[in-house]
Amino acid sequence: MALITYRHTGIAGLAAAVPANTIDNYAYTEHFEADAVKDVVDKVGIRERRFAPAGMCASDLCFAAAEKLIADMNIDKSTIDLLIFISQTPDYRMPATSIILQERLGLPKTTAAFDISLGCSAFVYGLSVAFAFMQTGGFRRILLLDGETRSRVYHPKDRKTAFLFGDGGVAAIIENDEKYGESFFSLNSDGSKESLIKMDAGGYRNPSSPETLMEKVVDEQGNIRTDEHGYMNGADVFNFVLLEIPGNIRATLKQSGLEQDQIDYFLFHQANSYMNGYLAKKMKLASEKVPSCIEYFGNTSSVSIPLTMVSQMKETLPQPQKLLLSGFGVGMSWATCVINSPGMFISDLVEL
Amino acid sequence: MQEKLFELIKESLEIEGRELEINDNFRDYPEWDSLGQLSIIAALDENFGVVIEGAEFSKINTLGDLLAKVGSLSES
């Protein structure tokens, strides 16, 4: 069991950037009847989303967030010894986007850089990787970037996913200091559920071809997509969340020695309001302890937890807080952590 | 349990004005859709403490089969 304890490492500051281009979900009716759209939007609780315009990548959102954070915190770029970029919507298949960002951000050639490819669990996974590197003592600061243009992954004519996903990018500065105390992580995977959320073609198993780019009806409901668009079986994902996540949260809390009511805020991956609402109810969590940004940004995959922190906790995170973060999704992959935040710097949300 | 299960199915799928039968294939109901399925999943968990794995749930078609599955899982 991947249960990990780190000492004296934490998140010093956090910034986020979203596209200015705002989609009114109730008016997203090009391909479906307004009544049907209303039923879906009411249930998933996503009023607005941000869509990156053509030419804008996840890396551009992360770049803007990173520049803002570095300027706001007055960070000397030469002290950033590692840059990690988390995304499943990178600029290219090669080279890794993190390396392009090293040059773009003006970081020295002595900066280590690599990408992590995970979805909704990835911010917590990425934090764990960054914390582990910091524990070695060989790194002064880590810049953790996490960005997604998930709006482009799904097809607008597939109602199972058309109303859920949005775009965003975040930047976090990870530092060592005794004030961070101990933090606790649980990292998990279940490849037997690889087909619950998946894009079938366009990689090396099923390479891109004229056939994989053709639109086709994929189910009895008449949903349309290509093999190079993602699909999701929402009901099975909900079952997975109910089976795995409450137990994983309890296990991580037990490892931390804290009771559930000693946690100030629970930050869940923002999947949809219905699922998140039920999860909070099942865990008997007061709604004021479960911040949410799903209404304004939709499901932004791995970005959704830190985007919630920047957009909803600008006033509370600069104060000392005990936080529990839990991300779950495509893989299936899930991760939970309990972190001590003695006071986190939060930049104003950037709109591009 | 049957009465409670039928009540939950009617609530979840917003079925009004008719009674459910044990041999009904609930996937044929005009009210059946993926949103309703989410409500059923939550209702079974909340009321019976039962979560049916996706692969298993896909094999269940009638209310009778669903009742049997919920019964066996809630006992274990």
Q: Do A275 and B38 touch (CB under 8 A)?
A: yes
Q: Do B34 and A236 touch (CB under 8 A)?
A: no
- Residues of chain A positioned with their CB less than 8 A from the CB of B36: none
A167 contacts A51 by C-beta, under 8 angstroms: yes
Token couple for A28: 């997203």
Q: Find, in chain B, the residue whose alpha carbon is nearest to that of A44.
A: B35
- Residues of chain A positioned with their CB less than 8 A from the CB of B41: 235, 238-239, 242
Q: Find, in chain B, the residue whose alpha carbon is nearest to that of A160.
A: B34
What's the mean per-residue pLDDT of chain B? 90
A-B contacts (CB, under 8 Å): 43
Q: B43 in contact with A at a CB cutoff of 8 Å? A: no
- Residues of chain A positioned with their CB less than 8 A from the CB of B45: 242, 278, 282
Query: What pLDDT was estimated at residue A2?
Result: 79
Q: How many CB atoms lie within 10 A of CB A260?
A: 14
A263 contacts A285 by C-beta, under 8 angstroms: no
Question: Residue B71 and residue B49: Cα distance in Å, rounded?
Answer: 11
**Which ipTM value was assigned to this complex?**
0.89
pLDDT in tens, B28-43: 999 998 888 889 999 9
Distance from CA of A252 to the nearest CA of B (A): 22
Distance from CA of B69 to the nearest CA of A (A): 15
**Residues in chain A with pLDDT values less than 70:** 1
B28-A162-A41 Cα angle (round to 5): 75
- Residues of chain A positioned with their CB less than 8 A from the CB of B35: 39-40, 43
Residue ranges in chain A assigned as alpha helix (H): 34-44, 58-72, 97-104, 122-135, 234-256, 273-282, 294-297, 304-312
Residue A57's closest CA among A154, A169, A173, A162? A169
The helix or strand, by DSSP H or E, that contains position B45, with its residue range, turns out to be helix B34-48
Residue ranges in A105-210 assigned as alpha helix (H): 122-135
Distance from CA of B53 to the nearest CA of A (A): 6
- Residues of chain B positioned with their CB less than 8 A from the CB of A275: 38
Query: What pLDDT was estimated at residue A186?
Result: 98
pLDDT in tens, A36-55: 899 999 989 999 999 999 99
- Residues of chain A positioned with their CB less than 8 A from the CB of B37: 235
Q: B68 in contact with A at a CB cutoff of 8 Å? A: no
pLDDT in tens, B18-71: 899 999 999 999 999 888 888 999 999 999 999 988 888 889 999 999 999 999
Query: What pLDDT was estimated at residue A291?
Result: 98
To the nearest 10°, report the CA torsion of B34, A50, A270, A310: -170
- How far apart, in Å, are the Cα atoms of B75 and each of A205, A317, B50? 43, 44, 10
Query: What pLDDT was estimated at residue B17?
Result: 86
Query: What pLDDT was estimated at residue A1?
Result: 62
Query: What pLDDT was estimated at residue A71?
Result: 98
Q: Find, in chain B, the residue whose alpha carbon is nearest to that of A277.
A: B42
Q: Find, in chain B, the residue whose alpha carbon is nearest to that of A244.
A: B51
- Residues of chain B positioned with their CB less than 8 A from the CB of A233: 54
pTM of the model: 0.95
